[in-house]
Amino acid sequence: MEYKYISKSVEDTIKLAENIESEKFPNMIICLNGELGSGKTVFVKGFANSLNIKENITSPTFNIIKEYEEGQMPLYHMDVYRLNDNGESIGIDEYFNKEGITIIEWADIINDILPKERLEIIFNIIDENKRVLIIKPYGEKYEELCEAVL
Per-residue pLDDT for the chain (150 aa), expressed as one digit of tens each? 999 999 999 999 999 999 999 999 999 999 999 999 999 999 999 999 999 999 999 887 778 999 999 999 999 999 999 887 665 667 888 999 999 999 999 999 999 999 999 999 999 999 999 999 999 999 999 999 999 999
The answer to whether residue 2 is domain-embedded is no
Which domain does 109 fall in, by range? 9-131+138-149
- State the pLDDT at residue 47: 98
DSSP assignments along 39-83, one per residue = SHHHHHHHHHHHTT--SPP---TTTSEEEE-SSSS-EEEEE-TT-
CATH number of the domain where residue 145 is located: 3.40.50.300
The answer to whether residue 91 is domain-embedded is yes
The answer to whether residue 1 is domain-embedded is no
- State the pLDDT at residue 89: 63
The answer to whether residue 45 is domain-embedded is yes
Q: How many residues appear in the chain?
A: 150
Indicate the number of domains in the chain: 1
pTM for this predicted structure:
0.95
- State the pLDDT at residue 144: 97
- State the pLDDT at residue 61: 73
DSSP β-ladder status, 131-138 and 3-7: antiparallel
The answer to whether residue 60 is domain-embedded is yes
* Whole-angstrom distance, CA of residue 29 vs CA of residue 112: 14
The answer to whether residue 144 is domain-embedded is yes
The answer to whether residue 3 is domain-embedded is no
The answer to whether residue 26 is domain-embedded is yes
